[in-house]
């Protein structure tokens, strides 16, 4: 269910690609497309709307300057279907920040600055809804057998079990132990605060449930909630390993 966005990277000046989970890629396929090529650039902000064979560029001035959460919800409202899937940029992509992300359903294509590519084209987002494609399979029973075997193999591995149990943030403790955690920009080998913000601590304290992308059997996404106190919140998307490193290990922040 993963999808990939490719271009010349504004960050490196050479080939760039980034992949993402969510349900966006599967929806593009359901609409009848194996890929989307965006060439040229708009003079004004636009978004691309795809509903099967109907493809339109629409005015995105009302969305320009807004974050990805707002953009996603507003586009679904304008489109008239909550089940449509969105890939969009926020203010970083608009302002051509060289490491800007493209965000889809709270997941991110976060490498090589692909968000800045959207921004350079004044492309705020792509929203897609597919209804026409149902894949014909020559041997449905054989395919199902292979799917079950592959699923069981993936679920039996230690790494899959760890990620399912602890999310990507489960790597905090492991990398801290092996010296691979970028603590204060790799200026010290271990950090006692890592365990306080690790996937294990999250699972014990604020985890509500796993979040699965399309056809995934692992569910590395975290849905979390703080039930009481100053930072009480409703159920939201939990932090990934990269988030905990950026705002935790690099800054020696264990709160």
pLDDT tops 90 at residue 1 = no
DSSP class of residue 143 equals H
> Which value, in Å, is the radius of gyration of the alpha carbons in the chain?
20
State the virtual CA torsion across 94, 100, 106, 109 in degrees, nearest 10: 120
Average pLDDT for 235-251: 94
Q: What domains lie within the chain, and their CATH numbers? A: 3-129 (3.60.9.10), 140-251 (1.10.569.10)
Average pLDDT for 186-208: 94
Say what the pLDDT of residue 254 is.
94
Tell me how many degrees the CA angle 177-183-188 measures, rounded to the nearest 5: 80
Question: CA-CA distance, 209 to 191, in Å (whole number)?
Answer: 28
Q: Are 142 and 39 in contact (CB under 8 A)?
A: no
3-state class percentages of the chain: helix first, strand second, coil last, to nearest 5: 35, 20, 45
Q: What is the pTM of this model?
A: 0.88
């Amino acid at each position: 269910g993963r999808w990939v966005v490719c271009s010349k990277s504004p960050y490196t000046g050479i080939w760039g690609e980034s992949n993402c989970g969510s349900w966006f890629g599967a929806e593009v396929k359901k609409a009848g497309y194996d890929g989307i090529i965006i060439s040229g650039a708009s003079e004004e902000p636009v978004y691309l709307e795809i509903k099967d064979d109907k493809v339109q560029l629409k005015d995105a001035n009302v969305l320009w300057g807004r974050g990805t959460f707002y953009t996603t919800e507003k586009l679904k409202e304008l489109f008239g279907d909550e089940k449509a899937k969105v890939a969009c940029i926020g203010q970083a992509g608009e302002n051509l920040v060289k490491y800007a992300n493209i965000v889809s359903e709270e997941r991110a294509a976060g490498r090589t600055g692909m968000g800045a590519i959207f921004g350079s084209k004044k492309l705020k987002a792509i929203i897609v809804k597919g209804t026409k494609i149902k894949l014909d399979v020559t041997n449905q029973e054989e395919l199902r057998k292979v799917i079950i075997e592959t699923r069981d193999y993936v679920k039996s591995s230690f790494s899959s079990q760890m990620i399912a149990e602890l999310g990507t943030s489960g790597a905090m403790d492991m990398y801290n132990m092996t010296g691979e955690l970028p603590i204060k920009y790799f200026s010290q080998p271990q950090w006692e605060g890592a365990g306080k913000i690790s996937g294990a601590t999250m699972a014990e304290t604020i985890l509500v449930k796993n979040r699965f992308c399309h056809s995934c059997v692992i569910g590395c996404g975290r849905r979390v909630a703080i039930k009481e106190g100053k930072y009480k919140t409703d159920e939201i998307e939990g932090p990934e390993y990269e988030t905990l490193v950026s705002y935790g290990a690099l800054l020696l922040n264990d709160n």
